[in-house]
Structures are given as structure tokens and as C-alpha cells.
Amino acid sequence: MAADIFGSNVCKNVEYEPETGWVGANWNACSVGMAYKARWGYERTMKGREMVQFDELIHDCREERRIARKKMEGKDLRVDADVDEGVRIMARPGKGSEAYAKSIDWWAGLETRALREGETKVNGNH
């Protein structure tokens, strides 16, 4: 349902165990996100990549990690189509996502109306 509502994949953190493959991870995704943001700032200020986009940096980091893991293990570990270096897709948007996408205009209209009516009341023009 979350995938349909947000129109986006729902993911879970995973890590690679040589004996069992990809398993659930016990690390905090927010901490990892902050580490990526720190790396992004470092790359932009210290490495001369002022124009690098955040998504591009994430891609670069994941590719570096995949290559390092491949060298260490001697094989390509991308055997699970739903896993990409520490993230497993648990759900993808389905046909239900169309219904939520259609309702966005309706909700946006309600928000605009509420803001307009609230502004009118604040300015004393009932």
C-alpha cells in the first residue's frame, strides 16, 4: 500500500553474508543517509567535484562498494535482482498507484482552497 500511495519502491536495508547471501541489516538507514550527505559535502569541497549531484554520488559509492566486494569475494554478488548494494526492494507500485495519483489534484485543490480561506480570515476579509 505504501508503494502505491507514494508511487515509489519500498525498501529494506540488507547486508551480504558470504555463507547465506543478502540478509536483513541491523543498521540505521538515517545514519547511512547522513554519512552519504557528509561524503557528498566532502566530495564537493575537498575533491573538486563541486557540481556532483547527490544521486550521482550515491551511484558512485554503491559501484565502488560492489567492485570492492567483488574483488574481495572473487565473484559478482549481484545475484538478487531486488537487491542493490545494501537495499532490497520489498514492494513496487502496482495498479493501485494510479488511483492515488489521480487523487493528488483533488487534495492539492483542497489545500489551495484552505490556504486561500485562511489568508482571507487573517486579513479580516470574511
| Digit-coded pLDDT (tens) for 22-44 | 888 887 878 888 999 999 999 99
Same domain flag for 66 and 119: no
For residues 43 and 63, give the distance between their C-alpha atoms in angstroms, rounded to a whole number: 16
For residues 106 and 109, give the distance between their C-alpha atoms in angstroms, rounded to a whole number: 5
Q: Give the chain's residues under pLDDT 50.
A: none
Same domain flag for 90 and 106: no
Same domain flag for 86 and 102: no
Q: Are 75 and 3 in contact (CB under 8 A)?
A: no
Same domain flag for 89 and 126: no
Residue 21: enclosing H or E segment and its boundaries?
Answer: strand 21-24
Same domain flag for 74 and 47: yes
pTM beyond 0.75: no
Please give the residue range of the domain that contains residue 126: 95-126
Same domain flag for 114 and 86: no
Domain count, the chain: 2
Same domain flag for 120 and 109: yes
